[in-house]
Amino acid sequence: MSIYATDADNFTISATVNRGKTVEVFGEPVFPSGLESFSTAAQLHAIYPSFQGASLITTQNGTATYVANTTSSTSSSYGTTEQDMVFAGIRVGPSQSAQDYFPAISGSMELYHRYVQAVNSTVAQDEEQLIDTIISHRHPDMENIYDFAVSSIKGMIGHGPKAKGHDIHG
C-alpha cells in the first residue's frame, strides 16, 4: 500500500509492505528440502530420521515515509523493515479423514530461526538461532551511507528538476 499526500508546500509519500510465505515439504522431494544440511548435526543425528518433511515460514514487513518541502528545498525520510524466518523439521501422522490430501503434522522441531529489524538504515535487532545455539551478530554504525533519501531526488537518480535557478537539495 502506498499513499501520496500534499499540504501547501509539503508532499509526503508513505508505503507499507507486508508479505509472507509458508512452504511445507512432505516425503522425499525432487529438490533438496533443506533438512539435508542438518543430517550430520550432532544435536540432531539421533532424531533426524524421524522427520518426514520440512517447514519454512517467513514474513517480511516494512514501512517508509518521505517528506519534502518545495519552498525550503528540504526533505527527510525514515523507515523500518523486519523479517522473521523459521525452518523446522516436521513429523506427520495419519490423515484425519479419507478426504485429506495431505497428512496431518503431528510435531515439529525448530532447526533455524532468524529475526532481523532495521530502523532508518541501522540494524536494531538481529537474533539468530541454529538448533539450540544462539548466534551473535555485531552491526557497526552504518554512518548513514545507505540512507533512504540521499540529499534530494536529483541526488538519488543523478538528474532531476531545478527550482528557482538552483538544484533542489535536502
Return d(Cα 82, Cα 108) in angstroms, integer: 24
The burial class, CB within 10 Å (0-12 / 13-18 / 19+), for 132 is exposed
Does residue 110 sit within a domain?
yes
pLDDT at res. 169: 42
Per-block average pLDDT, block size 10, for the chain (170 residues)?
84 94 85 76 72 92 93 92 94 73 82 93 90 81 46 50 43
pLDDT at res. 142: 42
Range of the domain at 39: 2-156
pLDDT at res. 144: 46
Does residue 31 sit within a domain?
yes
CB-based contacts of 96, cutoff 8 Å, min separation 6: 104
If one counts the domains in the chain, the total is: 1
Does residue 166 sit within a domain?
no
Does residue 167 sit within a domain?
no
Does residue 169 sit within a domain?
no
Does residue 168 sit within a domain?
no
Does residue 113 sit within a domain?
yes
pTM: 0.69
What SS3 class is residue 42? coil
